[in-house]
Each structure stands twice: as structure tokens, then as C-alpha cells.
Structure 1
Amino acid sequence: MPLLRATLIWAATALVLAVPLVAAALSPLLEWRQPVYIAAGFAGVTGMALLLIQPLLIAGLLPGLDPLQERRIHRWTGAALVLSVILHVAGLWLTSPPDVIDALLFTSPTPFTPWGVIAMWALFATAILAVIRRRLRLRWRTWRIAHTALALVIVTGSVVHAILITGTMETVSKITLCTLALALTLRVAFDPGTLKRLRRAR
């Protein structure tokens, strides 16, 4: 029974992550797009998928991984998330620099843009804080509060950004992915059981 449960959890996770990517790849909206634009879009979709993995790791919901493995994968997934955002923005810059400048200056007329930019800066702040954490000699509690607050901004901003965009992502799979990422992040942020688990893992 434990093996069956573990198999079902991993299969369901893989399905939720893969379906949005496959659906985006089959989107008719890609037919006339430039390769750089398509790559930028898929970097964004990949970033959304990675946002789901992070709370799964922190909450210990992926069977077969010990706490040390979860923390290590969490770090690597975070690095991959930063890379996906950089590729997403860089690709958009190559296709339309004025749009990216408007986005960074918060002057873009599109309603989804500010949410993505806010999420991006929060992600970069998280990455920088993780790198210099030991130099700052932050206590674990302080680090966790800052990290959790930034994670909430990242996920909320990314979810609103994705939902407001009518693009290559298929609607049902996009909403499912976004809903799960936000729900799991909120669980990790506010569930006392997760905090106890993190303390034990230390």
C-alpha cells in the first residue's frame, strides 16, 4: 500500500507538471511566433511548474526523499527557477525591448505585467538573501520569516501574472497548476505542522 500511494503521488505530480507544458507546445498560437519568443514563453511555463515543486519539498509531500535530499533539491529547484525567469525576460527583451523596459518601469498598459515584475524582483531578492545568509548571520527564525514572506509574493505575483495572460498556456491546466502552487504555498507558510517539521529537519 505505501508503494502504491507513493507511485500515485509521483504520477499525479508528474501529470500536473507535464500537462501544461504539452498543452502549451500544442497551442496554435505558437504557429507564427519567433523561436526566441517561444523559448521565452516556455521558460515562463517551466518557472510556473517549478513553483509547485518547492512547497511539495518543504512540506515533505514527495515520498521517498529524506529531509537532506528535500533541502538539496529545494535549493537546486530555486536556482533553476531563477534561471527560467532570466531566460523568460531575456527572450522577451530580444523580441521587444520597449515592452520589457515598460514592464520594468511599471508603465506597461497590460494588467498582467506588474504582477510578473514584482514576482521577479521578489525571486531575485530571495536568491540573493539565500547566498548571503551566512554572511549576514541571520537567525533561522528571521531567515524563515523573510523567505516565507518573499515566497508568498513570488507565488501570488506569478499566479496572477499567468492567469491574466491569454497566451500559449491552456486554460484548465494553467488554472490547475496555479491553484495547486498557491494552495500548497499557503499551507507551507501557515501550517504549524510544517514549521515543526522544518525544526526537526535542522
Structure 2
Amino acid sequence: MPAARALLIWAALGAATIGPLAVAANSPFLEWRAPVYILAGFAGVAAMALILVQPLLAGGYLPGLPRPLGRRVHRWTGGLLIACVLLHVAGLWLTSPPDVIDALLFTSPTPFSAWGVIAMWALFAAGMLALLRRPLHLRPRLWRLGHSVLVVVVALGSVVHALLIEGTMGMVSKTLLCILVLAALAKVLHDLRAWTLFRR
């Protein structure tokens, strides 16, 4: 790959992931907020950015990272993604435990909460499946299908959660990031052909 194209890809990824964080840092929603709340919010934005990075790593689309190396980084980044979600939820819990309880029980009056919780549990399940892949001796096609179904739920739930919530992420940067998340996931699912389990 030409160096100019590789640089352009990395620059675009940097803008797509760092841009929303920069917008959030200047959000008026942060005024008078406690540090724990701010940290929880940034953890959520970082998690959304990592959801974009994950399929790019799995598909080997990032220049300078061959697919085998990209998939190893993908596993570590998946752990970081889970850590960001845990930090996000823990920060919100410390800020307002009743709201988190309502969200976890799907009794919250805010629709975005349910989508966030669905995405969270799907993410935990995807991570658990990755840890148990070898101990359970899962066939590659079965593993790929199960993992793909779960990450689709993660991506869709996270996108709806982000778009419905009126928070620190700017609408333009948030929308662009969500579009890129869905496009990247669709691209890698198409290329890896997870559905071939059901083909003769």
C-alpha cells in the first residue's frame, strides 16, 4: 500500500475516534459536573471509538498491521473496550445508583438506557465466548458465527444508545462515528463470510 494512502487511512481513523473525544471535552454538559460523571462520560465515548477500531483490526484493514497481528491486537483492544464499558457503568453508578438499577432492570423511562444495557451484555458475552473458544474446542465457523452475531448486537445497541442520548458527544461527530461503526462492521462481516456455517 502506498505510504500516502496508509497515512490517509490512519489520519481518517484518528479524526473519527479522537474527534468525538475533543467535542466531548468542550461540551457544555460538563459544566458543574462531578469528576466521576465526566470520567464515566469519556469512558463511554472511548468505548464507542473502540467499537469502530475492532472490526478494522479483525479484518486486517489497518496499514502496517497484517491480519494475524491485527487480530492479536483485536483481542487486547476487546479487553480495553470491556474495561471502558465497566468504567462507564461504574461511574454512572457512583453518580446515580437508582438510574443504573432502573437501566439494568429495563425499567428506566429513558429509551437509550435499554439499548446501552443490551449492548453491554452482548459485549460481555462476546468477550466470554472469546475466552472460552479454545477450552470449548469450538469449530472456527461456529465460533465466527456466534461472535459475529454478538458483535452485531453490540454495534447496533451502541449506535442506537449513542444517537438517542443527548450527552457530551456532538450530533455531527456522533452521527459520523455511528455511520463508520456500522460500515466497518458490515465490511468485515461480508469479507469474513460468517454465515458460511449454513452453506453446503
TM-score range (shorter-chain normalised) is over 0.9
State how far apart, in whole Å, the 2-side matches of 1:188 and 1:69 are.
16
Structure 1 residue 195, shift from structure 2 partner: 3.9
Aligned to 1:199: none
- Work out whether 1:137 is the aligned partner of 2:137: yes
The one-letter code of the counterpart of 1:194 is L
Matches of 2:71 and 2:162, distance apart in 1: 27
Pairwise CA distance, 1:60: 2.0
Structure 1 counterpart of 2:8: 8
1:91, CA displacement in angstroms? Answer: 0.2
Deviation at 1:54, TM superposition (A): 0.8
Letter paired with 2:192: T
Across the two proteins, how many residue pairs are aligned to each other?
Answer: 194
Residue of structure 2 in register with 1:110 after alignment: 110
Cα displacement string for residues 46-101 of structure 1 (whole angstroms, at most 9, x for unaligned residues): 00000000111122221111122101110011000000000000000000000000
SS at 1:138 equivalent: coil
Contact 1:58 1:194 in 2 (8 A): no
User: Does the CA contact (< 8 Å) of 2:49 and 2:177 recur in 1?
Assistant: yes
Matched position secondary structure for 1:94: helix
Gaps of 5+ in 1: 197-202
Unaligned runs of 5+ in 2: 195-200
Partner of 1:171: 171
Q: Is the 8 A contact 2:112 2:164 kept in 1?
A: yes
Deviation (angstroms), 1:155: 0.3
C-alpha deviations, 1:151-202, integer Å up to 9, x for none? 000000000000000111111000000110011112222x1x3349xxxxxx
1:93 partnered with 2:93: yes
> Over aligned residue pairs, what C-alpha RMSD do you find?
1.2
One-letter amino acid of the structure 2 residue matched with residue 157 of structure 1: G
AA aligned to 2:27 is S
Q: 2-side partners of 1:50 and 1:65: how far apart?
A: 16
Q: Please, what TM-score do these two structures have when normalized by structure 1?
A: 0.93
Mapping for residues 34-183 of structure 1, pairs under 5 Å: 34-183=34-183
CA distance in 1: counterparts of 2:156 and 2:2, whole angstroms = 33
